[in-house]
Amino acid sequence: MQAARLHEYTEEMSEGLSIDEVDRPEPTRSDHVVVEVEGAGWCQTDNHIIEGMWTPYVDQDLPMTLGHENAGTIVEVGDEVTTVEEGEQVICHPVMTCGKCRACRTGDDMYCENLEFPGLNTDGGFAEYLLTSERSVIPLDTVDPVEIAPHADAGITAYHAAKKAVDELYPGSYSVAIGIGGLGHIGVQALDAMSAAEIVAVDIKDEALDLAEECGADYTVNSTDEDVVEAVESITEGDGATQILDFVGADETTSLGPDIVAPGGDHHIVGYGGDIHQPAQDLVDAEMAYRGTLVGKYSELEELVALVEQGTMDLHTSEYSLDEINEVAEKLEHREIEGRAVIKP
């Protein structure tokens, strides 16, 4: 089968991956599931993996097939798989979990002690077939795997952050969503679906802000022409934002937290790449927290699939073939992808 593989870390996206002919994966464990990949979302994390940014955090054995936002049709199952069968369409939670450790038993899939992460530390879905496990797949009723694929990571991550934010939001409070791209436009819809708080969307592009309005934002701020701190101060009448969802995670956005947060609020870091350099006293004075977001739980992906099947969430995607994969990487690097790019291997 064909697979888009990383052989060497590079800053040069135009030649990041090469299309190799490799063996089709086979189930080697009784709980394994082989999925014929119909859609695999391209993610900023793929750019970061190509650049080598993940090497301090995970062991990667190159060459490796990338692709962690996968959906398709089950073509083979291990001997003890009982909950899904061949021919079923599924979306894949991005990690394979053991089901036996404490984290698995409390539902915190991302903290599994024996975690495997296809596309990050094992072969992923930019290939005709993907090896995953029974615990990772969620059957799809009505939605097309190509359209829903990016929810496997982009969607679940935005939803997980929004769900944590919604716990702290209340009618009359404000949330600020920074960066209305692939994740941000899902995050705004999730906030809108689950909370009565007002949503302020911030981006550098008017088109992104138009999309934010379609997704349910009540206010928009173009940070190219407007001062974000003044704009949030004026919109919230001086109260600040109870929850900030930062889908960018650059120095310029992480530094906004202390200046726009309401007392006791949180600045959720969803996008990454920059640093946080705030005086400790800023956090003490506002009693604010920076909170990280690492994908989400299996149960949250199920909830998100339910929202999609109800027609509550709308994902903006564009489709590409496996041969166009480096072009997609370059386009995302130059912020030329609206919504989310999906590779169809």
Q: Which residues of this chain interact with Zn ion, rule CB under 5 A?
A: 43, 45, 97-98, 101, 104, 112, 153
Single-letter amino acid code for the residue at 36:
E
* Residue 201 near residue 209 (C-beta atoms within 8 A): yes
Rounded least distance, CB 29 to Zn ion, Å: 14
Residue closest to Zn ion, measured at CB: 43
Q: Which helix (H) or strand (E) holds 308?
A: helix 298-310
Smaller CB separation from Zn ion, 43 or 235: 43
Smaller CB separation from Zn ion, 101 or 250: 101
Rounded least distance, CB 12 to Zn ion, Å: 21
Rounded least distance, CB 99 to Zn ion, Å: 6
Size of the chain in residues: 345
Rounded least distance, CB 200 to Zn ion, Å: 25
Short-list 114, 96, 91, CA closest to 27: 96
Rounded least distance, CB 142 to Zn ion, Å: 24
Rounded least distance, CB 197 to Zn ion, Å: 26
Smaller CB separation from Zn ion, 45 or 195: 45
Smaller CB separation from Zn ion, 104 or 261: 104
Q: Which helix (H) or strand (E) holds 108?
A: none
Smaller CB separation from Zn ion, 123 or 153: 153
Smaller CB separation from Zn ion, 97 or 133: 97
- The single-letter DSSP state of residue 24 is P
- Please report where in the chains the tokens 């903006």 appear, as a residue: 316
Q: What does DSSP say about strands 174-178 and 198-203: parallel, antiparallel, or unpaired? A: parallel
3-state helix vs strand vs coil in the chain, percent to 5? 35, 25, 40
Could you tell me how far CA 115 lies from the centroid of its own chain?
A: 18
CA angle 97, 101, 104 (to 5 degrees): 50
Helix, strand or coil, per DSSP, at residue 218:
coil
Smaller CB separation from Zn ion, 45 or 236: 45
Nearby residues of 86 by Cβ (< 8 Å), 6 or more positions away: 74, 75, 76, 77
Rounded least distance, CB 157 to Zn ion, Å: 7
